[in-house]
């Protein structure tokens, strides 16, 4: 799963288009990782973005560790991953994760308005949203919209240029090796109710995202992810989530 999502989202990230995520409602866990894939993010005031991987006994596995670290830096990224902090739309803007917030149901319109303001010219009429395109408030999904404007060449060039920095990737892998070595004696012992395997996997992903080139960073993130996914703590967290959802349905 991690390999497939890394490949798919890297292709999306490097499209020769300017990409926007118009985020309505909830972007939780994997959804939060998806928001980091595009060049820009437009959210609503009621949007909730939350990286809950630690609470689920897991770690970022869709490239979110690498991309969030590149977007916000290692300190802010660790804060979000370790606290599982809920960010509404305005908080996401303050943190630098989103470019602007708008009323619920208007994120797609706001994204297109933002594209227009960046380009300095109106979009063709066949790219303008109609009333039927209005997104219902607070659906539990995140939506991505790509403009037809050419871009991304600089990023692709940078990615290619950075490929010569294999030393950084090797250094990050060395750090991950130290984390793995420390994990085994600890087992499933928890820190503040959370799996230490997840804490170490998250830290490894952030360190790699900060120090390594993309290919190496994603490799470290995959290796970290598989130490958590399907673990006892992860399965227990999934059971708790299912029980909570079932209880809400009965009410």
- What are the residue ranges spanned by the domains of the chain? 2-147, 162-241
pLDDT of residue 128: 56
Retrieve residue 100's tokens.
Answer: 């602007």
Nearest alpha carbon to residue 228 among 191, 170, 180 = 180
For residue 118, pLDDT over 90 is answered with no
Contact by Cβ (8 Å): 10, 214: yes
What phi, psi does 183 have (nearest 5°)? -70, -40
CATH fold label, 2-147: 2-enoyl-CoA Hydratase; Chain A, domain 1 (3.90.226)
Given a cut of 60, is residue 135 above it in pLDDT?
no
Residue 28 contacts residue 52 (beta carbons within 8 Å): yes
Phi/psi for 231 (5° steps) reads: -70, 170
* Inter-residue contact 179 to 203 (CB < 8 Å): yes
Q: Which residue has the higher pLDDT, 144 or 96?
A: 96
How confident is the model over 28-54, as pLDDT tens digits? 999 999 999 999 999 999 999 999 999
Using pLDDT thresholds of 50, 70 and 90, give the confidence band for residue 126.
low
């Amino acid at each position: 799963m991690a390999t497939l999502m890394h490949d798919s989202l890297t292709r999306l990230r490097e499209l020769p288009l300017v990409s926007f995520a118009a985020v309505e409602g909830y972007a939780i866990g994997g959804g939060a990782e998806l928001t980091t894939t595009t060049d820009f993010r437009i959210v609503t005031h009621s949007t909730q973005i939350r990286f809950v991987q630690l609470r689920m006994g897991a770690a970022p596995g869709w490239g979110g560790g690498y991309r969030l670290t590149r977007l916000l830096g290692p300190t802010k990224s660790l804060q979000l991953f370790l606290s599982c902090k809920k960010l509404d739309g305005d908080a996401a803007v303050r943190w630098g994760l989103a470019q602007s917030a708008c009323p619920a149901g208007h994120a797609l319109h706001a994204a297109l308005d933002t594209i227009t303001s960046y380009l300095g010219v109106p979009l063709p009429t066949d790219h303008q949203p109609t009333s039927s395109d209005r997104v219902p408030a607070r659906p539990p999904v995140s939506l991505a919209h790509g403009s037809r404007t050419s871009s991304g060449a600089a990023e692709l060039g940078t990615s290619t240029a950075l490929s010569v920095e294999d030393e950084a990737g090797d250094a990050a892998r060395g750090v991950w090796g130290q984390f793995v070595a420390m994990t085994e004696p600890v087992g499933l012992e928890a820190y503040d109710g959370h799996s230490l395997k997840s804490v170490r996997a998250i830290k490894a992903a952030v360190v790699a995202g900060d120090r390594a080139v993309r290919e190496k960073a994603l490799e470290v993130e995959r290796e970290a992810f598989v130490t958590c996914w399907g673990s006892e703590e992860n399965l227990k967290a999934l059971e708790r989530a299912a029980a909570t959802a079932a209880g809400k349905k009965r009410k």
